[in-house]
């Protein structure tokens, strides 16, 4: 009887929220990642088998399930890493793709939590700022929900509070530190520019930057990190921050303008790898030699960017944020086994991003150039399975040390 009454009441609740709330949705940025993993299962991953008795997790993937679609690369990479983690930890993982439709994602959340046998945990992302609605639905249905990659912003923070506060079944979040990522890119290219003495006639190092957009949290936080690095260097001048719309082609156009306007530019900061590659093409067309008289850095660990790091035409690429889903599964696994990650905090922000540059590109490519994440022993990161672990270490160094 409860199920029969609860489902329509909950649907009414979702509709009321949608109708009465003021939209805060920003336009979806163009694709931030294009490299496709080689081992991801692009089927729906919906389990139709009877309950196996395993811990069960459903991840609402906001991306595209078609590997031939250029917007699908990053989110397929998230799924591939999660699948490898789930296999090692004996987790029954279901992945549902919303195909970049935030309304469909909300419907999926409702469908999942109102099942006769819902999962133990629901994993969601604050894509297009709709995670608040999904958290409320899951909390009402008494399904534990966890947020990863992008958490609440602005008015959502005030409304939702902290995990386990107003909504006790919202048990936590894990967010990579985009500020630290932007800072790392800036520090790396500035160091290379100064070491190689590509300063202008005024004795300072001149820079242009290309960000994804002006509003999304990840983009804003990466630029904040850039600005922190600039504040540490009086001898570096940032001329202009262009908007590349996360696109290689758009960033190339912007860099062409920037290099004509500021021909003394010695370093280019880019908020992701496609945009870094676009600026690299523009630099070459302008007669510059990337890696010698101009230094470029990006973010994503995209395959083409890693190749440019190998040949020296890119200084570095920051990445690893696609691993956040796998790390979230480890936290949930331990929580399910009675070892609550709350001892380290419930709203976790970690430096999940790591730098790949000339110092570590070869061991990384030798180990993971094929993106085969099954080589990682994910059980080694669990506190339940390794009682001596005091603090979760979700770093590239920890992976390469295995």
Write the DSSP symbol of residue 336.
H
- Asked whether residue 393 carries a pLDDT value surpassing 50, the answer given is yes
> Of residues 80 and 5, which shows the higher confidence score?
80
* pLDDT mean over 147-172: 95
Position 217 confidence tier, pLDDT thresholds 50, 70, 90: confident
Per-residue confidence (pLDDT) for residue 71, from 0 to 100: 53
Cα separation of 397 and 97, whole Å? 31
Domains of the chain, first to last: 22-176+322-354+375-400 (3.40.50.2300), 179-319 (3.40.50.2300)
Per-residue confidence (pLDDT) for residue 215, from 0 to 100: 75
Per-residue confidence (pLDDT) for residue 32, from 0 to 100: 40
Per-residue confidence (pLDDT) for residue 45, from 0 to 100: 46
Centre a 10 Å sphere on the Cβ of residue 392 and count the other Cβ atoms it contains.
19
Angle between helices 102-113 and 131-140 (to 10 degrees): 10
Position 46 confidence tier, pLDDT thresholds 50, 70, 90: very low
139, 111, 114: which is closest to 3 by C-alpha? 114
- Span of 67-71, 231-235, 375-379 with lowest mean pLDDT: 67-71
Non-local (6+) Cβ contacts of 17 within 8 A are: 133, 136
- Asked whether residue 286 carries a pLDDT value surpassing 70, the answer given is yes
Per-residue confidence (pLDDT) for residue 98, from 0 to 100: 95
Longest dimension (CA), the chain: 79
Model pTM score = 0.76
Cα separation of 168 and 164, whole Å? 4
Contact 289, 312 (CB under 8 A): no
pLDDT per residue as tens digits for the range 230-244: 999 999 999 999 999
Cα separation of 327 and 148, whole Å? 10
Per-residue confidence (pLDDT) for residue 41, from 0 to 100: 53
Per-residue confidence (pLDDT) for residue 30, from 0 to 100: 38
Contact 236, 265 (CB under 8 A): no
Contact 179, 222 (CB under 8 A): yes
């Amino acid at each position: 009887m409860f199920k029969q009454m609860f489902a329509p009441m909950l649907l009414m609740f979702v509709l009321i929220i949608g109708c009465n709330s003021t939209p805060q949705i920003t336009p979806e940025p163009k694709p931030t990642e294009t490299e496709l993993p080689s081992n991801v299962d692009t089927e729906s991953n919906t389990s139709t088998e009877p309950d196996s008795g395993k811990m069960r997790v459903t991840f609402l993937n906001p991306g595209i399930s078609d590997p031939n679609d250029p917007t699908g690369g990053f989110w397929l990479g998230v799924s591939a890493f999660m699948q490898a983690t789930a296999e090692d930890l004996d987790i029954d993982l279901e992945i549902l793709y919303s195909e970049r439709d935030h309304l469909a994602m909300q419907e999926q959340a409702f469908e999942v939590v109102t099942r006769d046998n819902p999962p133990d945990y629901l994993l969601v992302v604050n894509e297009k700022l709709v995670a608040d609605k999904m958290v409320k639905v899951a909390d009402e249905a008494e399904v534990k929900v966890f947020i990863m990659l992008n958490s609440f912003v602005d008015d959502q923070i005030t409304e939702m509070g902290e995990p386990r506060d107003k909504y006790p079944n919202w048990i936590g979040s894990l967010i990579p530190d985009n500020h630290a990522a932007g800072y790392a890119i800036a520090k790396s290219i500035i160091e290379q520019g100064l070491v190689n003495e590509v300063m202008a006639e005024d004795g300072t190092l001149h820079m242009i930057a290309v960000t994804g957009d002006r509003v999304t949290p990840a983009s804003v936080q990466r630029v904040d990190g850039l600005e922190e690095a600039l504040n540490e260097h009086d001898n570096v001048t940032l001329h202009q921050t262009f908007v590349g719309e996360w696109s290689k082609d758009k960033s190339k156009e912007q860099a062409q303008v920037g290099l004509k306007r500021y021909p003394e530019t010695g370093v280019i900061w880019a908020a992701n790898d496609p945009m870094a590659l676009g600026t690299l093409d523009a630099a070459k067309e302008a007669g510059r030699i990337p890696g010698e008289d101009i230094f470029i850095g990006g973010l994503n660990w995209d395959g083409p960017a890693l190749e440019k790091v190998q040949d020296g035409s890119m200084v570095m690429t920051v990445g690893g944020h696609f691993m956040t889903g796998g790390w979230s599964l480890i936290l949930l696994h331990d929580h399910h086994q009675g070892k609550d990650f709350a001892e380290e905090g419930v709203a976790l922000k970690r430096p999940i991003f790591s730098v790949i540059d000339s110092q570590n590109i070869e061991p990384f490519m030798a180990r993971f150039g094929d993106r085969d994440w099954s080589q990682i022993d994910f059980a080694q990161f669990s506190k339940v399975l390794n009682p001596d672990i005091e603090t979760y270490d979700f770093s590239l160094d920890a992976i390469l040390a295995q």
